[in-house]
Structure 1
Amino acid sequence: MADSLKGLSFVFFLSLFLYPALLHAQFGLPGAENTISITVTPQYPAPSSSVHLKAESNLLDLSRALITWSSNGKTIASGDGTTETDVTVGALGQQTSITITAAIDSTRASGAAVVIPTQIDLLYESNSYTPPFYRGRALPSAGTMLRLQAIPRFTKGDGSLVPAASIIYIWKRNGELIQAASGLGRSAALLPGPTLFATDTIVVEAHTSDNTYSGSASLRIPSVEPVIALYLDSALFGILYHQALSVRTFVPNTEMTFVAVPYFAQAYSPDDQNLQYEWHVNSQKISADATRPSAITLSAGSSDGTAIVELSLTHAANYLMSSNSTWNISLKSGFDQASGSNGSATNNPFEQGF
């Protein structure tokens, strides 16, 4: 009996001795090898740009840990509590593999992230009016529409591009999702332009179905007021778009036809039936031509003359559209055009190309 008790005492003592040892071995937190999350800022880095890396963990106090950062297998930072660092990513489509390891005594944890720089070009124009061969962009005014086109450059490792039609696009205006414009292959969007005096921020986010490639682009698009420019309408050459009339203009003829061009107006042409022209010459209202309301003919007869021409332009269906301009035009018989002032190209929207 005594021998049996001695044996039991030995077994019990051995169990007490081994149990703490087993607890110590388990304190390494099985599965902790992937418990560090890495935040990359900016979220969508540009090619060859610097990104900021930040490590976080819910299971390990990283401020007390010895941390080592690596990029594509090369150590970029190391030290106690080094939870943040910077790295320069590669060219367009070039993968940068980020790893982090952290250790406190015998407890270890790690994390990983992959950064692939992408690029998205976001283009826009309005359906507002601009004349033929206008070199600039049609800008949105109140009541017009915006045409937007996202051009993603998601470059694969072999240099090929991910087809635009296989990319998922998410469109947002001023932070709000535009569900009707978003979806697979929806790289283009047609949206109402910003309201009068407003500025809209348009954002497009794009990613592949497996989220391997992703990117974003944004634009701030302000609403503009229509700009009225006045041009000579030559019987031989047509509208002289290269030379807009300035506020004070001399014309080497005693009779001339002038044409108003409403840049960025909600119209399909200067003589759109919805545009309402109200002309005044020397404070006298002049009835607009029913078939060509954008044009007006001035005649000084056989003598020289000066006319103060005023134009008010509104829209029959868009009460927010309104524009006014005034010109002081001198018609002079036999005037030397080379020495006169016939408008400055500096004030010519056609030449400026907004």
Structure 2
Amino acid sequence: MKNNYSLNFIKAIIPIFLFSFFIIAEAQTNSVLFIKISPEIPGAYEEVTASVSSPSVNLDIASISWSLDGKKFSSNVGQKSITFKTKGVGEKTTVVATATLGNTFLSDTATINPSEVDILWEATDIYTPPFYKGKALPTSESSIKVTIVPSVFKSNGVAYKTSELSYKWSRNGEILGSLSGRGASTLSLKNDYLKREESIGVETRNTSDVKIGKGGVIIRIVDPKILFYEKNPILGVLYNKSLFNSINLSNEELSLVAEPYFISPRDKTSSKIQYTWSLNGSPVATNSKNPNILVVRQQTGVGGEANVSLEVTSPSKILLSATNNLMLNFKGR
């Protein structure tokens, strides 16, 4: 029997990558030699081992020859395995093994065709301030969207369309049957407030329902945080420098802007988000249209210091909150 194999590779990028391939066996009438690729799902440019087995011939005393893409690679008595590296994405490697023992001649062929799949995720309802260049990170009970972007090739070298493939999703070890299926390349979920991370797995199958890969990503849940900035009457909010610990008031008035990184929902002035300001422990009222801004004025001839504290919460989300404080030093103008 002669076995043909094709291998596809899945890679996920986030902060995390995954590698997946598949091997398909197809019978041939005159062979009792079998090639096995290990690891079963190697990646592009990855070291793999090809090994042979036979249920009827003692390969330890057989003369075994190996070739890669038609070129002799190795030959020796009892050489039941070889090690080599795969090529790049979409570049096939054809492995042929032959075994001779007396008048018995056996052969088998395996074709390795690396492919890759990117796994992307985003927190869809998270606030980040202007000019923030990083990734919006998920916090407790936030919404997350996971997307598969495949570059998977058929045996003829033509890439599969995303809609042609089937996806079986899992979340924290539980199969999500109702969210899986053909073309289901995206997964939307809401974090459970009791979990500090979401473990997402996916298994991909081709149009013949043959598994071509699997992998996963762990999405860690973070806490929101508050940073303070000064709002200049001419230049606007000075996002290039955050305020922390203790600052001196050089002007009569300070507009203190609080930016609640990674709070949810995305609109920081939403009625679903509450800002609780206090000055030396006493509550301070702010403008309801801009609840994240506190205006502080120092009195003429009065010096000293004051502790400004802020707590930001989202009452509909049990564990979603952030706090910060800032010491203000008055010079007594």
Q: TM-score range by the shorter chain?
A: 0.7 to 0.9
Taking only aligned residues, the RMSD between alpha carbons, in angstroms, comes to 3.0
Q: 1:293 to 1:196 in 2, by over 3 A?
A: farther
Tell me which residue corresponds to 1:54.
51
Tell me which residue corresponds to 1:320.
319
- TM-score, normalised to structure 2, is 0.79
Q: Which of 289, 292, 305 is residue 290 of structure 2 equivalent to?
A: 292
Contact 2:100/2:106 (CA < 8 Å) preserved in 1? yes
AA at the equivalent of 2:242: A
Q: 1:91 to 1:39 in 2, by over 3 A?
A: closer
What's the CA shift for 1:36? 1.2
Tell me which residue corresponds to 1:19.
none
What's the CA shift for 1:138? 0.8
Q: Which of 162, 165, 179 is residue 164 of structure 1 equivalent to?
A: 162
Tell me which residue corresponds to 1:119.
116
Of all paired residues, the percent bearing the same amino acid is 27
What's the CA shift for 1:244? 1.4
Tell me which residue corresponds to 1:266.
264
AA at the equivalent of 1:315: S
**Secondary structure at 1:219 match in 2:** strand
| Structure 1 gap ranges (5+) | 1-29, 335-354
Q: Which of 120, 129, 132 is residue 131 of structure 1 equivalent to?
A: 129
C-alpha distance after superposition, 1:303-344 (max 9, x if no partner): 45532112222221111112221212235578xxxxxxxxxx
Q: 1:126 to 1:307 in 2, by over 3 A?
A: same
For 2:109 and 2:209, locate their aligned partners in 1 and report how far apart those are by CA, in whole Å: 16
For 1:251 and 1:158, locate their aligned partners in 2 and report how far apart those are by CA, in whole Å: 71
2:132 aligned with 1:173, yes or no? no
**Secondary structure at 2:318 match in 1:** coil
Q: Which of 254, 257, 281 is residue 256 of structure 1 equivalent to?
A: 254
- TM-score, normalised to structure 1, is 0.74
2:67 aligned with 1:70, yes or no? yes
Tell me which residue corresponds to 2:143.
145
Tell me which residue corresponds to 2:85.
88
Contact 2:37/2:48 (CA < 8 Å) preserved in 1? no
Tell me which residue corresponds to 1:350.
none
**Secondary structure at 2:178 match in 1:** helix
What's the CA shift for 1:117? 0.8
Q: 1:66 to 1:217 in 2, by over 3 A?
A: same
Larger mean CA deviation between 308-317 and 158-167 belongs to 158-167
AA at the equivalent of 1:307: A
**Secondary structure at 2:241 match in 1:** strand
Q: 1:133 to 1:189 in 2, by over 3 A?
A: farther
For 2:74 and 2:209, locate their aligned partners in 1 and report how far apart those are by CA, in whole Å: 28
Pick the structure with more helix per residue: 1
AA at the equivalent of 1:306: E
Q: 1:54 to 1:220 in 2, by over 3 A?
A: farther
Q: 1:320 to 1:58 in 2, by over 3 A?
A: farther
